[in-house]
Amino acid sequence: MSAASSLLTEDQFLCSICLDVFTDPVTTPCGHNFCKACITKHWDIDIPYQCPTCRNGFNTKPKLQVNTLISEMAAKFRQSAQLIPEEVPRDVYSGTKLKTWMFFLACLMCVFMAWMLIETIKEKQKTTEKLAEGFVKDLKQEISELKKRSTEVEQLYVAQQEKLRKQKNLLHESDLKRVQQYEVNVTLDPDTANAWLILSDDGKQVHCCDVKYLPDNPKRFDSSDSVLAKQSFSSGRFYYEVQVKRKTYWRLGVVRESIQRKGSTLPSLQDGYWTICLLNGDSYYVCADPLVRLSLKSRPQKVGVFVDYEEGLVSFYDVDAEALIYSYTGCSFTEKLYPFFSPLVPDDGKNSAPLIISPVSL
């Protein structure tokens, strides 16, 4: 290569693949130039497609654009190189003519770079416009969907408010007389009673003793001093009353059919128990995990239990005081509910009094 051509290679007239002056130069999408034959052969071998200069990768084979400007400049470069003999020293051609030609080439390169910059800006502007159009379209769709959802949310809110209103009415202390009209006849099921419990013949009373009284069977509680009613409920409303006089321990409420009856159990809401209890003679609790202590104005002698299956409500009343003790609200019942009774431990004879299912006195 002549001295002049060596000088011009600094202005990037050489293909970076064949290291010779461009032949049929083409431009990649990333803006780099190569001989058409060189880059085509390179991509036939190198898959996935990647620019040899900047290593930018393409998902599919890029469409190459003929670079007319570089092609013309490369041709002139070849002609200039052929005019300069190889044996002539470089400094002989460092005069005005060569400087003028180099200035011309520099100007052409500036024009080319300006053209590439303008094309890049145009392409980015098109991309931005497309993204903006997509964003506006998505925004309009989202607004439309929100308008549809707002109606559903409003309906759900109205239904929830109506449900809360009904529950509030049911929870009012003066409503005891009204819930008592849903009284049901409840009797104890001896097949479920813990072996340490004694049941009356009529199935209305239960208390704990110091010796095993009943043989084991699959339905029986084997470690909890508990017994279920024979009756179960899977809809509607029901109410019953239990006398708890002279007792220092007891637990009452309703449970779902599938509660664990064998082994040690924790009678909590999470395990399917909706119950309250008395411990140590004067401490009343909601049987949750952990226990929640109740503050009562009086000590109940008779406890009323009311359930509204569809409304998901379980309420406990101090019958003599006509006062609400506690309510589980917003419950989700999906299976049969059974009235639950537990006289608990004998407490050295202080807790020997029975739990008694009593008729409602209106």
For residues 348 and 210, the answer to whether their CB atoms sit within 8 Å is no
Choice between 130 and 199, residue whose per-residue pLDDT is larger: 199
Choice between 360 and 175, residue whose per-residue pLDDT is larger: 360
Domains recognised in the chain with CATH numbers: 3-135 (3.30.40.10), 175-358 (2.60.120.920)
Choice between 55 and 153, residue whose per-residue pLDDT is larger: 55
325 confidence band (pLDDT: 50, 70, 90): very high
What value does the mean pLDDT of the chain take?
82
45-92: pLDDT as tens digits: 766 788 888 888 887 888 888 888 778 777 777 776 565 554 444 444
Mean pLDDT of the 107-136 span: 74
Distance CA 274, CA 360 (A): 22
Least confident segment among 10-24, 229-243, 273-287: 10-24
Is 139's pLDDT higher than 70?
Answer: no
User: What's the pLDDT score for residue 303?
Assistant: 98
